């Protein structure tokens, strides 16, 4: 069964490059990003794992833990990490799950049922502190993931979880946001003291409330 937004992220116990973990316990009260790779020593994934390592401080600022998964054993992971560190000029600083039997990949519906090729295992899950899935993205093997975009979405998810707002197309941290329809006009001033702009009755904007 596919995982939908709002579902509880399946818990699991796994061996990783940083030891054995129980996923929900490892997340604790943090947000989480779980992203999958088809196999070790693949070129696009090598660049992706390096990119995430370089962005570790940005994830930390947002209280987000990151974890990767690849359908290969730990000894292969450890050799691959050496290549990643060398070629991407960084140090992999987060755990990489070993999933040679596809147990977690299947638990998270990462493998298309009509395809057995490992290259179908290529997904991103953003999980909230409530352990619910907030975002899912599946990429083709030929397209490297944009982790700046994933950070942008996390900024939106964290903002909209705490305020009655939504973020418009291409929104970035610090830009105006949209007041949700659930907020009545007469309540806007109290909820959004920075003021607002009424573009249309259904489109009301306000400065980002948490900065």
Question: What's the sign of the alpha-carbon dihedral 106, 108, 110, 115?
Answer: positive
- The per-residue pLDDT for range 70-107, each reduced to its tens digit, is 989 999 999 999 999 999 999 999 999 999 998 998 89
Question: What order of strands is seen across the sheet that includes strand 177-179?
Answer: 165-166, 177-179, 203-206, 197-200
- On whether both 46 and 80 belong to a single domain, the answer is yes
Q: Which domain holds residue 197?
A: 163-206
- CA 134/CA 68 separation, integer angstroms: 17
User: Taking the chain, what is the end-to-end CA distance rounded to the nearest angstrom?
Assistant: 40
Instruction: Check whether 116 has a pLDDT greater than 90.
Output: no
Instruction: Specify whether the CB–CB gap between 10 and 32 falls below 8 A.
Output: no
- On whether both 94 and 183 belong to a single domain, the answer is no
| Residue 28 included in any domain | yes
* Residue 61 DSSP symbol: H
CATH number of the CATH domain containing 39: 3.40.30.10
Give me the half-sphere count of Cα atoms (radius 13 Å) on the Cβ side of residue 204: 21
Total H helices, total E strands in the chain: 7, 11
Residue 144 DSSP SS3 = coil
CATH number of the CATH domain containing 177: 3.30.1020.10
Instruction: Check whether 123 has a pLDDT greater than 70.
Output: yes
- CA 127/CA 30 separation, integer angstroms: 9
| Residue 151 included in any domain | no
- The per-residue pLDDT for range 140-170, each reduced to its tens digit, is 888 999 999 999 999 999 999 999 999 999 9
- On whether both 82 and 25 belong to a single domain, the answer is yes
Element (DSSP H or E) covering residue 124: strand 123-127
Please give the tally of structural domains in the chain: 2
45 is catalytic: yes
Instruction: Specify whether the CB–CB gap between 133 and 7 falls below 8 A.
Output: yes
Contacts of 126 by beta carbon, 8 Å cutoff, 6+ apart: 31, 32, 33, 133, 134, 135, 136, 150, 153, 154, 157
Contacts of 208 by beta carbon, 8 Å cutoff, 6+ apart: 159, 173, 174, 175, 176, 177
Q: Which of 128, 148, 150 is nearest to 137 (CA)?
A: 150
User: What pTM did the predictor assign?
Assistant: 0.93
Q: Which among 27, 33, 45, 183 is annotated as catalytic?
A: 45
- The overall average pLDDT reported for the chain is 94
Instruction: Specify whether the CB–CB gap between 210 and 163 falls below 8 A.
Output: yes
- On whether both 137 and 186 belong to a single domain, the answer is no
* Mean pLDDT calculated for residue range 36-50: 93
């Amino acid at each position: 069964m596919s995982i939908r937004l709002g579902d509880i992220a399946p818990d699991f116990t796994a061996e990783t490059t940083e030891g054995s973990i129980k996923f929900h316990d490892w997340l604790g009260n943090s947000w989480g990003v779980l992203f999958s790779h088809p196999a070790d020593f693949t070129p696009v994934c090598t660049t992706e794992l390096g990119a995430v390592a370089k962005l570790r401080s940005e994830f930390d600022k947002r209280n987000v833990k990151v974890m990767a998964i690849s359908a290969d054993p730990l000894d292969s992971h450890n050799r691959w990490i050496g290549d990643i560190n060398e070629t991407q000029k960084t140090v992999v600083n987060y755990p990489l799950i070993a999933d040679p039997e596809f147990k977690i990949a299947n638990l998270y519906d990462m493998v298309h049922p009509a395809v057995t090729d490992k290259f179908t295992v290529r997904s991103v899950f953003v999980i909230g502190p409530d352990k619910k899935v907030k975002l899912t993205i599946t990429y083709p093997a030929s397209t490297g993931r944009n982790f700046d975009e994933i950070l942008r979405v996390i900024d939106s998810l964290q903002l909209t979880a705490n305020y009655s707002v939504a973020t418009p197309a291409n929104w970035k941290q610090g830009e105006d946001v949209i007041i949700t329809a659930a907020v009545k006009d007469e309540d806007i001033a109290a909820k959004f003291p920075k003021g607002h702009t009424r573009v249309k009755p259904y489109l009301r904007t306000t400065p980002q409330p948490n900065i």
